């Protein structure tokens, strides 16, 4: 059996030449870009054409479907020497080609005023029959932290535990929180425990008082806030209770004194009214004009009858009447007392009193003159 061998000269070199194969995208920039919200980004897409690429030029930028997208969304198109920039509603008015004439080899796209919702994978596809080429770029729009909110929780008394909290509502993860002390020795308390945006102060002392700063940070930027901590000694509970009890007792005493004064004034007024009623009952009412006229008539009749009095019955008139018991008639008011009968006086006494003797004719019981 004979074997045949093909011998190659030692100094021979195999040379391969790569010939151009039509349309090619020549951009060599990064395929993953991170930008902050509000900024402008350029998605690069440079291309070259070959001689055999004789068909119409079409350029298309699209947003590739992600987990929450169902289909590919066309963003911007160049076709028939015209640019169409209003395909994708969320980017309407914020997207355009970088070159006013993309057919010169620059199909790059600019997006202005970036938002977090603009994050995604964008594909540049350039087609000129028979050539076709594409390039994908991952765009991540990051949001800087919003201004965090700092506040303290728990009691601010010495020996108690308290917590300082710091949180930003917005911001692309991961967010990092840093606590610093801006007053005193600028060192955190030795028993401080940091967990995320929370700092716990265990068994706080007055030395922990001061101003603390929280810094919220991510790869885009930072924001900060301040919180004031004032640790004081706990209040004297026994003294507070004693003060409250004393105040209550004083209020009760004042109420009792007020009630006593009111009752006393009321009883005094009632007593004065009763005394006034008793005085009014003891004082006899004033005599009327009729009783006064009757008294004058009785006096005149007594004088007229003085002349008929004889010495024999004078002793009856002058005799004291102390041994008689007053009847009920004398206890009546003067206005209702009966007119006493005319008394008889002796002639000499009447003359002394200036009386004038008058002759009165005698009369019978029926009133006839004797």
Neighbours of 367 (CB within 10 A): 6
Half-sphere exposure of 181 (CA within 13 A, CB side): 15
- Cis status, amide bond into 174, omega within 30 of 0: yes
| Strand, helix or coil for residue 306 | helix
| pTM reported for the whole predicted model | 0.51
- In the numeric block, the tokens 């806030």 are attached to 225
**Residues with Cβ within 8 Å of residue 196, at least 6 apart in sequence:** 177
Distance CA(14)–CA(19), nearest Å, equals 16
> If you average pLDDT over every residue of the chain, what do you get?
77
pLDDT band, residue 281 (cuts 50/70/90): low
The predicted model gives 109-117 an average pLDDT of 95
| pLDDT at site 351 | 62
| The dihedral sign for the CA sequence 269, 271, 275, 280 | positive
| pLDDT at site 105 | 93
Q: Hey, what are 42's tokens?
A: 């350029």
Distance CA(55)–CA(13), nearest Å, equals 39
| pLDDT at site 283 | 54
Going by C-alpha positions, the residue among 137, 227, 233, 241 that lies closest to residue 182 is 227
Give per-residue pLDDT as tens, 333-370. 444 445 555 555 555 665 666 666 666 666 666 656 65
Name the β-bridge partners of 162.
Answer: 154, 201
Going by C-alpha positions, the residue among 107, 89, 86, 87 that lies closest to residue 97 is 107
| pLDDT at site 65 | 86
Give per-residue pLDDT as tens, 257-268. 888 898 888 888
Query: Where are any strands of DSSP class E within 66-157?
Result: 73-79, 82-84, 95-97, 109-111, 120-128, 131-142, 149-154
∠ CA 305-317-325, rounded to 5° = 125
Distance CA(86)–CA(193), nearest Å, equals 53
DSSP string, 187-238: ---TTEEEETTEEEETT--GGG-EEEEEEEE-SS-EEEEEEEE--BPPP-HH
The length of the chain, given as a count of residues: 370
Give per-residue pLDDT as tens, 233-279. 887 666 778 788 899 989 999 989 888 898 888 888 777 777 776 66
pLDDT band, residue 5 (cuts 50/70/90): very low
Give per-residue pLDDT as tens, 216-231. 999 889 999 999 999 8
Half-sphere exposure of 316 (CA within 13 A, CB side): 9
CB 195 within 8 A of CB 176: no
∠ CA 53-59-65, rounded to 5° = 130
- Report phi then psi at 367, rounded to 5: 95, 5
Q: Is the pLDDT of residue 14 over 90?
A: no
Distance CA(309)–CA(98), nearest Å, equals 161
CB 156 within 8 A of CB 162: yes
Distance CA(219)–CA(37), nearest Å, equals 12
Going by C-alpha positions, the residue among 40, 14, 43, 15 that lies closest to residue 27 is 43
Neighbours of 245 (CB within 10 A): 10
Q: Hey, what are 297's tokens?
A: 């008539």
Distance CA(209)–CA(258), nearest Å, equals 50
């Amino acid at each position: 059996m004979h074997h045949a061998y093909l011998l190659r000269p030692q100094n021979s070199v195999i040379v391969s030449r790569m010939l151009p194969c039509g349309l090619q995208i020549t951009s060599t920039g990064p395929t993953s870009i991170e930008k902050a919200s509000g900024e402008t980004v350029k998605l690069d897409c440079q291309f070259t054409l070959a001689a055999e690429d004789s068909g119409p030029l079409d350029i298309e930028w699209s947003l590739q479907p992600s987990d929450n997208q169902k289909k590919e969304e066309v963003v911007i198109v160049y076709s028939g020497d015209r640019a169409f920039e209003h395909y994708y509603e969320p980017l309407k008015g914020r997207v355009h080609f970088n070159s006013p004439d993309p057919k010169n080899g620059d199909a790059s796209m600019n997006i202005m005023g970036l938002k977090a919702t603009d994050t995604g994978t964008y594909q540049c596809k350039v087609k000129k029959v028979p050539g076709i080429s594409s390039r994908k770029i991952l765009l991540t729009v990051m949001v800087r932290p919003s201004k965090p909110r700092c506040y303290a929780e728990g009691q601010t008394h010495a020996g108690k535990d308290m917590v300082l909290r710091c949180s930003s509502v917005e911001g692309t993860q991961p967010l990092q929180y840093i606590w610093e002390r801006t007053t005193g020795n600028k060192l955190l308390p030795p028993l401080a425990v940091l967990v995320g945006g929370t700092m716990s102060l265990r068994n706080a002392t007055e030395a922990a008082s001061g101003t603390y700063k929280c810094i919220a940070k991510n790869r885009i930027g930072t924001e900060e806030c301040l919180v004031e901590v004032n640790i004081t000694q706990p209040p004297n509970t026994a003294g507070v209770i004693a003060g409250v009890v004393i105040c209550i007792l004083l209020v009760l005493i004042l109420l009792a004194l007020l009630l006593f004064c009111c009752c006393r004034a009321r009883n005094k007024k009632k007593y004065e009214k009763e005394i006034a009623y008793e005085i009014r009952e003891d004082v006899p009412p004033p005599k009327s004009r009729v009783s006064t006229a009757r008294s004058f008539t009785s006096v005149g009749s007594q004088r007229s009858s003085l002349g008929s009095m004889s010495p024999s019955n004078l002793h009856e008139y002058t005799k004291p009447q102390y041994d008689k018991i007053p009847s009920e008639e004398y206890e009546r008011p003067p206005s209702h007392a009966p007119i006493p009968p005319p008394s008889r006086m002796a002639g000499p006494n009447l003359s002394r009193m200036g009386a004038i003797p008058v002759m009165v004719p005698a009369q019978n019981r029926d009133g006839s003159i004797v």
